[in-house]
Amino acid sequence: DAKTTQPNSMESNEEEPVHLPCNHSTISGTDYIHWYRQLPSQGPEYVIHGLTSNVNNRMASLAIAEDRKSSTLILHRATLRDAAVYYCILRGIRLRNQGGKLIFGQGTELSVKP
């Protein structure tokens, strides 16, 4: 299974943009890049996913490098409620039973200062 590498922690100021990086140099052509976040005392929450093109939704944007070996989750205006652990994960779907596996790394702990 392809692995991802993220910084252990990052800090941001409230109402400023945050760019959370993720490296996945061994990604395969059928791996989707997923991002989840986990707020304290809660279950992980799906944020966004993409394959090759950049993606936007109401929560965040996902920028994917042209060679797909890295990606960046962008929170356009950080709020105190965005303080969480953010996980970058690869979800492969080439094989029928591969889509069931979702391997979480250690993630990036984001703190947001007022």
Task: Please give the residue ranges that form the binding site for other proteins (CB under 8 A).
Answer: 32, 34, 36, 42-49, 51, 87, 91, 93, 96-97, 99-107
Of 19 and 104, nearer to other proteins (C-beta) is: 104
**Least distance to other proteins, CB of residue 63, Å:** 18
Of 15 and 45, nearer to other proteins (C-beta) is: 45
Residue 79, CA distances (Å) to 2, 38, 59 in order: 32, 15, 12
**37: CB partners within 8 A, 6+ apart:** 44, 45, 47, 82, 84, 85, 86, 87
Of 80 and 95, nearer to other proteins (C-beta) is: 95
